[in-house]
Structure 1
Amino acid sequence: MSTYTTISFPCNIFCADLMDVLTPVEASQLADWYWRIRGDISMLPSYADQNFRIRSDAGDYVLKVANPSWSRMDLDLENQAMMTLAEREPALRWPQVLCALNGQHLLTFPIGGQIRQVRILSFVPGRTYADVIGSLAPAQRAVLHESLGGAVGRLTRGLQDFQHPAADRLHDWNLMRLPALHDEMAHIDDAALQAMVQAHVDVFCERLPSWHENLPVTVLHNDANDLNVIVALDDGDPCVNAVIDFGDMCTSFRLADLAIACVYAMQHEADPVACARTIVRGYVAQCPLRRTELEALQTFILARLCHSVLMATRAHREAPDNPFIMVSQQGVRRLLRHLAGVDRDAIVRPFLESSHD
């Protein structure tokens, strides 16, 4: 891994160690000084970081100031993955990582008395899947489902054999760590839901030893949700333009990225099984799966839904006055209840007729 040094700000920009956050003017000066990028700048919403969109004559960019909790290795993992995908899978518009004038793609600055990592990525145009899907006609929805599967298949294929030391970190959203959430089961406020989650988690945990031996493991994006999938709406059919936000990357079962994409897309549909089948069709066209993976997919989808319920239960227990924690759970719980009455091979049955080994 390349070495780095903490960079001091030029005195004519600002006194960074007195500030908690950057203003747009200061972020603009930072982009100009170290990347020679100039343009109109505005703040973007972010859960924990500071993000600024820069509109320049050469294109649009995002300057990202990482929360101090992010280590340099974590962010290097994200950047290396995006650079690998840009090289291996150019059909999609992954966020492009821009190197600064010194050749580094990640700079370290003292801001607000803390060390912050700063980088610039290209801005990916389009609208989020969540924003688009509700306005589409049924035929267009099916086209988008297949495009989503194809994009996630390219994502999996592009990260094949990708390695990075930070990818082995312990991540709460790694499905391999689902057993660690078992104690949260007692805090689920709905007895019927609790029993359902218990049953599916028990099945997943029972099969984990066998899956560790028989299912492919790789570095995953691990968060192809409906807010991280970007859709292009040109004159033709809607298609997935990119997958963004690599902050949940980890090493886990290869199958998990497909299961996660299915979980979020299925929540928008009256016929979630048909939706998942179309996503799988698009996926296997780009990244064929083993028969053992296909047979496990529906269990993985159910496990991810249970994972979401348990994570939300823990978050709500730790912050009971936050009303937003449980809002997204409505779709998760509705889909979980729906799939509980569906045959376990309902999604993949059409694909089991042909070998994907």
Structure 2
Amino acid sequence: MSVKQPKPNLSHGQVSEVVERLFGLTLSRVRPLPSYDDQNFYVAPAEGGEYVLKVMNSEDSRNAALLDVQTHAMAFLHRRGLPAQTALPTTTGQLMSLEDIDCGFGPQKYLVRLLTYLPGNTIATVPVSPQLLYEVGKVAARMDTILLEMEHPHLAVLQRDKFIWSLSSIPLLEPYLCHMDTDPIHAVVKAVMEQYNTCVLPKRSSFRQCINHGDFNDLNILVQPSGGDYAISGILDFGDMSRGYFVYELAIAIMYMMIENPTPVEVGGPVLAGWESVLPLNAAERDSLYTLVLSRFVQSLVLARYSVSLQPQNEEYLMTTAKTGIRILRQLWELGKDEVERLWFQSAAPCAERE
């Protein structure tokens, strides 16, 4: 989720031409899908099947090795039983193609992939039960433990030390705070960042390392009806993958599951229980979880404000999470670490006993 480059802006005609030329498919249906700074299309070829054409922004398209690892990770998870997309090879057998495309601001190079279309609705659009939250935590932990086993010649590219969306990069938000000078939540944002520096950084050496999906959010998790509830049917968007820590993935999952929930503070317990059914937290990770969840809210809010300054026409989408996040961030901060931890850890215990 780079915030530096304009999104690609292919027309439907350009989409049809690319799909036919690269994949030998004639499109019968095309519709745009939501995206942050890439461009996604649902495409249905006359030959059958359903796919997502993903056109990466010009900045990320320069890093073919990173995209190769992400594509490999999706296939690796798919083979291990998790519902991740896989890439359809081009007619020449490539899983992605670097294309020169003029989207109205001159020809630029964009990496293009055709991914399998996964059924379901985003978890943001359905009522989420404690059991489904438990499954979110469990799947997130399974995903990271599986990714830890993955091998690839370019795994080193996941060491993204200055990647602004990593939870290791909270101190790097400082230059972006000027975009929040008049925002009433500004004081809480600064206080959370200070708490991160004093309470999380000293403990980070005790966190267990892994490869993070990094954006396990309510728009990247698909669900379908199952036995009176819902089951996870898809995991989307591996663009924020990086080397990190297990507890980061858990914090990110908890934060995003709060966004559409009517009782957001209660979300942490069942997600934590699901996670710990696969991988119990150690003491340092448990002590840092509250601050890491708040830090993700801060990250999302600050970078959304910055992105709006670059793309004011896209404000409604860019601020989707941030608008609700402001309210929840304030609520979590006012409740305080001790009270929120009590709610999460106490409610996680009976959930775990049901496993």
Q: TM-score, normalised by structure 1?
A: 0.80
Rounded Cα–Cα distance in structure 2 between residues aligned with 1:30 and 1:323: 29
Shift in CA distance, 276/63, structure 1 to aligned 2, threshold 3 Å: same
Shift of 1:114: 3.0
Identity %: 27
By how many angstroms is 1:304 displaced?
Answer: 1.1
Query: How far does the alpha carbon of each residue in 1:30-78 deviate from its partner, in whole angstroms, 9 at most, with x for none?
Result: 4345434455230323444343323256531122232322222232132
1:204 and 2:196 matched: yes
In 1, Cα distance between equivalents of 2:16 and 2:176: 45
Partner SS state of residue 54, structure 2: strand
Letter in 2 for 1:253: Y
Check whether the contact 1:149–1:283 (CA below 8 A) recurs between aligned residues: yes
CA distance in 2, matches of 1:350, 1:142: 10
Q: Where in structure 1 are there 5+ consecutive unaligned residues?
A: 1-19
Q: Which residue of 1 aligns with 2:329?
A: 336
Q: Are 1:219 and 2:215 an aligned pair? A: no
Distance change (3 Å), C-alpha of 1:187 and 1:106: closer
Specify the SS of the correspondent of 2:115: strand
Per the alignment, do residues 200 and 143 of structure 1 end up closer, same or farther by CA in structure 2, a change over 3 Å counting? same
Aligned position for 1:44: 32
Shift of 1:162: 3.8
Out of 219-228 and 142-151, give the one that drifted further. 142-151
Preserved CA contact (<8 Å) 1:110 1:116: yes
Please give the alpha-carbon distance, in whole angstroms, between the structure 2 residues aligned to 1:204 and 1:335: 18
Work out the CA distance in 1 between the residues paired with 2:293 and 2:15.
41
**Per-residue displacement from partner, 1:171-205 (whole Å, max 9, x unpaired)?**
21111111111244455346763332222211211
Residue 96 of structure 2 is aligned with which of 106, 110, 115? 106
Q: Higher helix share goes to which structure?
A: 2
Contact 1:186 1:194 in 2 (8 A): no
How far is 1:278 from its partner?
A: 0.6
| CA deviation vs aligned residue, 1:252-285 (integer Å, no higher than 9, x gap) | 2221111111112113234323221111111222
Aligned: 1:261 with 2:253: yes
Listed as ranges, the matches of 1:114-125 within 5 Å are: 114-125=108-119
Cα offset, 1:245, TM superposition: 1.0
* Mapped partners of 2:208, 2:295: distance in 1: 17
Task: Assess if the C-alpha contact under 8 Å between 2:200 and 2:291 holds in 1.
Answer: no
Contact 1:159 1:219 in 2 (8 A): yes
Partner SS, residue 229 of structure 2: coil
- Residues 134 and 272 of structure 2 are in contact (CA less than 8 Å); yes or no, is this contact kept in structure 1? yes
**Aligned-residue CA RMSD in angstroms?**
2.9
Q: Secondary structure at the match of 1:109?
A: strand
C-alpha displacement at 1:125, in angstroms?
0.7
Aligned amino acid, residue 172 of structure 1: I
Relative to structure 1, the CA distance from residue 275 to residue 301 in structure 2 (aligned partners, 3 Å threshold; closer, same or farther) is same
Greater Cα shift, 279-288 or 23-32: 23-32
Counterpart residue number, 1:5:
none
1:206 is displaced (CA, Å) by 1.9
Match of 1:166 in 2: 157
Residue 341 of structure 2 corresponds to which residue in structure 1?
Answer: 345
Match of 2:134 among 139, 146, 169: 146
Distance 2:133 2:181 in 1: 33
For residues 270-314 of structure 1, the C-alpha deviation after alignment (integer angstroms, 9 at most, x for no partner) is 432322111111122233332321222111111111222322343
| Residue 157 of structure 1 pairs with residue 145 of structure 2 | yes
* Alpha-carbon spacing, 1:118–1:195, altered in 2? closer, same or farther (3 Å): closer
> Could you tell me which residue of structure 2 aligns to residue 53 of structure 1?
42
Q: Aligned residue for 2:272? A: 280
More deviation in 174-183 or 322-331?
A: 322-331
TM-score (ref. length: structure 2): 0.80
Matched residue count: 327
Match of 1:65 in 2: 55
Distance of aligned partners of 1:290 and 1:232 in 2 relative to their CA distance in 1, 3 Å threshold: same
Whether contact under 8 Å (1:148, 1:239) holds in the other structure is no
1: CA distance, partners of 2:24 / 2:52: 14
Which among 186, 189, 200 is matched to residue 194 of structure 1?
A: 186
Given that residues 295 and 348 in structure 1 are in contact (C-alpha distance below 8 angstroms), is that contact kept between their aligned partners in structure 2? no
Q: Are the counterparts in 1 of residues 273 and 349 from structure 2 also a CA contact under 8 Å? A: no
